[in-house]
Structure 1
């Protein structure tokens, strides 16, 4: 097959126009296919391991972990149901999987991206309420409310694509310029791409940035108050040594400090996840806007690979930034699968790694006293 000829099966429209993929060198496309395959394998293993780890060590789980599980499931589905077709596209430079999959695959791709970003936004809001409005936390994050939030993230991400799926606001079809299936204008020239980008990307991203600005302000103010309190204690050492009340206050402050540090580690981890999401999605967006005619193919391929890497990078962040997650991964790999029965019975897995996580979590379970304002 010539590089400039695009072949399709099952009534996918044929175009004489050279696609974006046809402008890439064979070596570059082969590299992209292999790299995407590696990303897919890492993403499948890493996200599945994260879900199993959080389920196997119940004492590690908290509200944020529920949203992290949702995020991992979305990334796992992206790796399992979208990336194989990306590999095929890089390898064959065409779409050869039929009309039905040409509609389904971009539907899944856009939906999983939406779920991922909304999950990150929900985790960030969780951190914000924990830190800035702690008195609301118990009322907001009840089990049924958490389930409704997760359900909303999935239904909204996929539901807003229904008009495109049925062809009344753009349509999912083969895009000859991209050389793959995506959102294309419908018979009236309408497309949902811009609206999806604004609603499902810009709005959650702005919400996340606003929440983090507020989080940093509250944490900074809290640290200032803590330093002033410590200075006042050092200025009156006799009172501290002779007063039982002050000793209890000091112990309480130490517990709160440990809890605050633990929660701050989780908050920083979520910020790293969001920043990695931006880093992974920004290059391909810039490439599409500034190099629409593909004068620099390497830039586009790098953008695609970063986009796909967003589905496997989060477990790596968990390992690097959180010791509890590292121990939970060790427990997931070491505990027999039969121990999963302990998830419902209350008998936790007894491997040293999991028990280490349980003991460490118990020492930082004073979250109710986190950052008293």
Structure 2
């Protein structure tokens, strides 16, 4: 059997019977993976560069987004690039060790990214809804703990789960490592992350709505509705929407793949492999789009992007005369 016809083996446990995807499906998916890989590397390298060169960008939220960019840099270099090669070559060419590293690293980076976005959401919740207490949590110790937890917890748990005996079964194919590890723990962690993030943003937007209603009532002359609570600015609201978009890109990029696989497996339809492969690049869309979102929500980041891309000096003059750390609106 030729290499181009040996791509179905690792999916025999997922889809009943042989399930050889059409060649055009693998080619298109591989090309999309290459495009997303290049975009993610360039975009996140740009954001990492401006963060390191510009002291005014080193806010609490930007530090978390910097770590998120690091995960979005590691992923295209060590995960999606190898996966894209497997699609284009119709065969995994890197052996068992890299296959295991690829699988484990993908889970670690996904969980780390979600914990980082969860920490961002909690930070915005405290900053806006409980802004009078924010100074207690906005310090280096809290930030260091959040970053250490976001990285160390996924690494410890995923390495433990996936390095136990018989955690993988290796067969020839595009995705040669078949997982024998239960996904219950990963699902539980994912649920906690989603609940915390959604609750934080929902509470923030409800607070903003109530604040607007109080302002409108006060403007109408209803003195009983006056309140000393801070009303978020339009810039803060736009930043919140962008941060929420970052979170949603990760979630809706990851969920369709296992969801489609489970549906077609339940239906016993082997042709579902083609749909599964076509959906696979969605996992990496967030890494390519996130640096653009950072620029949309923050004028300092946009200006730094422009100076680097146009070859202007960054150390010669500040990007912006406003102290970003003093603004809640800073990303």
Shorter-normalised TM-score: what interval? 0.7 to 0.9
SS of match in other structure, 2:170: strand
- Work out which of the residue numbers 311, 316, 322 in structure 2 matches 1:350: 316
Other structure's SS at 2:233 match: helix
Larger radius of gyration: 1
The alignment status of 1:171 with 2:132, answered yes or no, reads no
The offset of 1:93, in angstroms, is 2.7
Take 1:116 and 1:124, find their aligned partners in 2: how far apart are those partners?
12
TM-score using structure 1 length: 0.76
- The verdict on how the C-alpha distance between 1:149 and 1:28 changes in structure 2, with shifts beyond 3 A counting, is same
Within the candidate set 69, 72, 76, 1:72 is matched to: 69
Range that drifts further, 314-323 or 145-154: 314-323
Partners of 1:123 and 1:101 in 2: how far apart? 32
Q: Once the 2 structures are TM-superposed, how far is the Cα of residue 165 of structure 1 from its aligned partner? A: 3.4
Aligned to 1:195: 185
2:202 to 208, 213, 220: 213
Q: Distance in 2 between matches of 1:16 and 1:231?
A: 65
Determine the C-alpha separation between the residues in 1 that align with 2:208 and 2:41: 36
1:42-85, CA deviations, whole angstroms, 9 ceiling, x for partnerless residues?
A: 00000111111223222233211011001000011001110121
Question: Matched residue pairs, number?
Answer: 320
Q: Deviations over 1:178-213 (max 9, x none)?
A: 84144622xxxxx232321221x2210111111111
Tell me the equivalent position of 2:102.
105
Give 1:302 deviation, angstroms. 2.9
Are the counterparts in 1 of residues 29 and 281 from structure 2 also a CA contact under 8 Å?
A: yes
Structure 2 CA distance for aligned equivalents of residues 261 and 302 of structure 1: 38
CA RMSD of the aligned region, Å? 3.2
The gaps in structure 2 that reach 5 residues or longer are: none
Closer, same or farther: CA 154–2 of 1 in aligned 2, 3 Å: closer
* Matches for 1:175-324 after TM superposition, within 5 Å: 179-182=174-177, 184-185=179-180, 191-199=181-189, 201-232=190-221, 260-292=233-265, 293-324=269-300
Q: Which has the higher contact order (CA 8 A, sep 6+)?
A: 2
Contact 1:19–1:179 under 8 Å retained in 2:
no
Q: Distance in 1 between matches of 2:324 and 2:178?
A: 50
Aligned partner of 1:151 in structure 2 is: 148
Answering whether residue 78 of structure 2 is matched by residue 81 of structure 1, we say yes
Is residue 35 from structure 1 mapped to residue 5 from structure 2 by the alignment? no
Cα deviation code 1:3-28 (max 9, x no counterpart) = 44369xxxxxx889599796211122
Secondary structure at 1:50 match in 2: helix
1:335–1:127 distance in 2 versus 1, CA, 3 Å: farther
Does the 8 Å CA contact 1:281/1:303 hold for their aligned counterparts? Answer: no
Measure, in 2, the Cα distance between the counterparts of 1:68 and 1:175.
Answer: 37
Structure 2 vs 1, CA of residues 58 and 264 (structure 1 numbering), >3 Å: closer, same or farther?
farther
Alignment gaps of 5+ in structure 1: 8-13, 186-190, 235-251, 340-348
2:307 is equivalent to residue 331 of structure 1: yes
Q: Give 1:40 deviation, angstroms.
A: 0.3
